[in-house]
Amino acid sequence: MSSRRRVVLGVGGGIAAYKACLLLRLLTESGHEVRVVPTRSALEFVGAPTWAALSGQPVSTEVWDDVHEVPHVRLGRQADLVVVAPATADLLARAAHGLADDLLTNTLLTARCPVILAPAMHTEMWEHPATQANVALLRKRGVVVLDPASGRLTGADSGPGRLPEPEALFAACRAVLERADRPFSTDLAGRTVVISSGGTREPLDPVRYLGNRSSGKQGYALAETAAARGARVVLVTTSSLPDPPGAEIVRVETAEQLRGAVLAAAEDADVVVMAAAVADFRPATTSGHKIKKTDDGGAPTVELVRNPDVLAELAGARRRPGQVVVGFAAETGDATGSVLDHGRAKLARKGCDLLVVNEVGEGRTFGLDTTTAVLLDREGGEQEIPEGSKQALAHAVWDAVSLRLDVGEGRAPAR
Q: Which helix (H) or strand (E) holds 386?
A: strand 382-389
Amino acid (one-letter) located at 167: E
Residues in the chain: 415
Rounded Cα distance, 223 and 195, in Å:
7
361 CB neighbour count, 10 Å cutoff: 14
Calpha distance 352→347 (Å, rounded): 6
Q: Is the dihedral of CA 14, 16, 21, 26 positive or negative?
A: negative
Rg (CA), the chain: 23
CA 292 to mean position of chain CA atoms: 42
Q: Annotate 211-246 with DSSP letters as a single string.
A: --S--SHHHHHHHHHHHHTT-EEEEEES--SPPPTT
**How far, in Å, CA of 218 to CA of 277, rounded?**
11
Calculate the CA dihedral of residues 236, 241, 245, 248 and round it to 10 degrees: 20
Q: Which long-range contacts (CB under 8 A, 24 or more apart) does 378-383 make?
A: 378/347, 378/351, 378/352, 378/353, 378/354, 382/340
SS3 category, 110 = helix
* DSSP H/E element including 270: none
The answer to whether 212 is a known catalytic residue is: yes
Core vs surface per residue 157-166: b (16+ CB within 10 A) or e: eeebbbbbbb
Structure letter (DSSP) for residue 41: G
Q: How far apart are the first and last CA of the chain?
A: 23
Catalytic residue among 106, 212, 307, 358: 212
Q: How distant is the alpha carbon of residue 350 from its chain centre?
A: 26
Report how far residue 378's alpha carbon sits from residue 175's, in angstroms, rounded to the nearest whole number. 27
Q: List, by residue number, the catalytic residues.
A: 212
